[in-house]
Amino acid sequence: MTEHLAEEAARKLPLRDSDEIQGDILAGFRKDHESVLLLRFPQDPAPVRQWLRRLIPQIATTRQIAAFNAEFSAARHNLAGTDPAGLRVTWVNLSLTYAGLKFLMGAEPFPDQTPPGVQAFVQGASQRAGINGDEGDSTPENWLFGRDEQPVHAVITVASDEQALLEVRASELRVAAARAGLTVVFEQTGATLPGNSKGHEHFGFKDGVSQPGVAGFDRPDPSDPVHVAGKPGTRIVPAGEFVLGHPKLEGEPSTLPEWTRNGSFQVVRRLAQDVPAWWAQAGAVRRQLDREGVELPPGTGTEWLAARAVGRWRSGASVAHNPNAEPPAKPGAPDDNMISYVDDPEGHVTPHFAHIRKTNPRDGLGNGHNPADVRRIIRRGIPYGQPFDPAAGDGHGPDADRGLVFIAYMSDIDFQFEFLQRRWINNPDFRQQETGRDPVIGQDTDVNLKLDTLPGGKKLHFAQFVRTEGTIYAFAPALSTLRGLAQRP
């Protein structure tokens, strides 16, 4: 690329150079080891402001992460797909809950009245549990964090390429917090799964395949500019859907106060996964189909049924393109994400209840354009706990803690995360089709499995084996806003 063209390309992607937007929002940390520290402030704001002043220089910016990730990807490419050993870093970011923000501002953050788009953030996650379907075992009384009686003011995410580096940094952060009188209310660690399971969640499926592209951050494909270059099917969405103060798909950029500019709302959720129970259920449901004489393609077993629940096979290959069998791996091929549901209106291939169709119906909502784009979220989750493997002993058995530390960024928690939970995941009448809830993460449900050979559908029961064990709603402010908060008298 000539210098002129390189400059032009860089100019069109100004968000890659942002020293304002914190890291992990647009540019993902992408680390194998992570720790989320949930902190409570003491009574006196002065030492907290001092703590914040010292923390700010350690917070990673989008510019730093984007540059590092580009260097890492280039090195990986040169090493034929293995991770470059020398490139090891630890990143930190910080978000504040409504209570934390109010404490540091010394005043009501939204003085006039609660503007649209921040209701959920202001109320806090435990007050919104009903909206999110957190019932039964998932109610806030059972949570490890996020309960009203155990307030959290700040969330530090620290992520590293190496466990030892993570531990050193997390310990430094804990010491600094303690010196200023802050309490660590809870610490949630996470790590990518080992070996070939890296990049997969505990049920065994590849995760993080489909993310939105972001205008001004991701390079558009010159021959197909609605998608990100090199990532077929990754639609580019205006930055204002994730970061405040930027253009959105619909309506005004934002009516929120100036201090919100370049910040992003964050949802942190600990979702426990009962892996043996979920797979046992998939097997039982699959056998029920045989017992009831449902005609299925030859050779299809429990994996086929589980792939229908997710919408992808374990490898990440889509059911949309590979309805009946997992295709052989194609090293170096881009992720299978150029998915359309237009030709599958009844959900005979990818069921309407499938997790990926529920959480991103794409062009399958029936009105021509992609209204699902306004509900997109940027997911930065990581598994916690050891993989289920009864032969491996301690920590790998059925009772050990394991699940997903779900972390997502967006510009409106109510309109994006909560809408997904309420109107899609836990809605049995998704698209007026009585399709059932999401059988991967939704509440107990009867899904309606439809196939070309079964157009009328068959009701199949799925109990819920993902339990909410804590939720925090927070806001990751721009670096300049954090500096302002640290300076206040």
The 51-90 site mask, x for binding ligand HEM (CB under 6 A), equals: ----------------------------------------
Cα(338)–Cα(320) distance, integer angstroms: 10
Cα(304)–Cα(288) distance, integer angstroms: 14
Q: Are strands 220-221 and 183-191 parallel, antiparallel or unpaired?
A: unpaired
Interface region with ligand HEM, contact rule CB under 6 A, candidates 40-48, 207-215, 245-253, 388-396: 207-215
Cα angle: 22, vertex 165, 472; to 5 degrees: 45
Query: CA neighbours within 13 Å on the CB side: how many for 133?
Result: 23
Q: According to the binding rule CB under 6 A, does residue 199 interact with ligand HEM?
A: no
Distance of closest approach, residue 29 Cβ to ligand HEM, in angstroms:
16
Q: Which residues pair with 191 in a beta bridge?
A: 33
Interface region with ligand HEM, contact rule CB under 6 A, candidates 46-54, 83-91, 98-106, 351-359: 351-359
**387: closest CA among 257, 211, 201, 255?**
201
DSSP 8-state assignment for residue 60: P
Distance of closest approach, residue 97 Cβ to ligand HEM, in angstroms:
19
DSSP 8-state assignment for residue 206: B
Q: According to the binding rule CB under 6 A, does residue 315 interact with ligand HEM?
A: no
Interface region with ligand HEM, contact rule CB under 6 A, candidates 28-36, 106-114, 415-423, 444-452: 415-423
Distance of closest approach, residue 356 Cβ to ligand HEM, in angstroms:
4
Q: According to the binding rule CB under 6 A, does residue 360 interact with ligand HEM?
A: yes
Looking at residue 136, its amino acid is G
Count of residues touching ligand HEM (by CB under 6 A): 26
**Among 30, 227, 312, 380, which residue sits at the site for ligand HEM (rule: CB under 6 A)?**
312
Given a contact cutoff of 8 angstroms between Cβ atoms, the answer to whether 378 and 242 are in contact is yes
Distance of closest approach, residue 233 Cβ to ligand HEM, in angstroms:
9
Q: According to the binding rule CB under 6 A, does residue 207 interact with ligand HEM?
A: yes
DSSP 211-244: --EETTTSPEETTEEEEETTEEEEEEE-GGGTST
Question: Residue length, the chain?
Answer: 489
Return the CA Rg of the chain. Answer: 22
Footprint (CB under 6 A) of ligand HEM, residues 372-401: 377
- In the numeric block, which tokens belong to residue 98? 């409504």
SS3 37: strand
**Among 203, 259, 265, 465, which residue sits at the site for ligand HEM (rule: CB under 6 A)?**
203
**Among 25, 39, 96, 356, which residue sits at the site for ligand HEM (rule: CB under 6 A)?**
356
Given a contact cutoff of 8 angstroms between Cβ atoms, the answer to whether 473 and 125 are in contact is yes
Q: According to the binding rule CB under 6 A, does residue 231 interact with ligand HEM?
A: no
Q: According to the binding rule CB under 6 A, does residue 201 interact with ligand HEM?
A: yes
Q: According to the binding rule CB under 6 A, does residue 128 interact with ligand HEM?
A: no
Q: Are strands 231-237 and 213-214 parallel, antiparallel or unpaired?
A: parallel
- In the numeric block, which tokens belong to residue 463? 């109990």
Q: According to the binding rule CB under 6 A, does residue 161 interact with ligand HEM?
A: no
Q: According to the binding rule CB under 6 A, does residue 208 interact with ligand HEM?
A: yes
**Among 27, 236, 441, 447, which residue sits at the site for ligand HEM (rule: CB under 6 A)?**
441
Interface region with ligand HEM, contact rule CB under 6 A, candidates 10-18, 170-178, 202-210, 293-301: 202-210
Q: In terms of CB distance, is 259 or 424 closer to ligand HEM?
A: 424
- In the numeric block, which tokens belong to residue 198? 């890296």
Binding region for ligand HEM (CB under 6 A): 201, 203, 205-210, 271, 273, 310, 312, 355-356, 359-360, 377, 403-404, 406, 417, 420-421, 440-441, 466
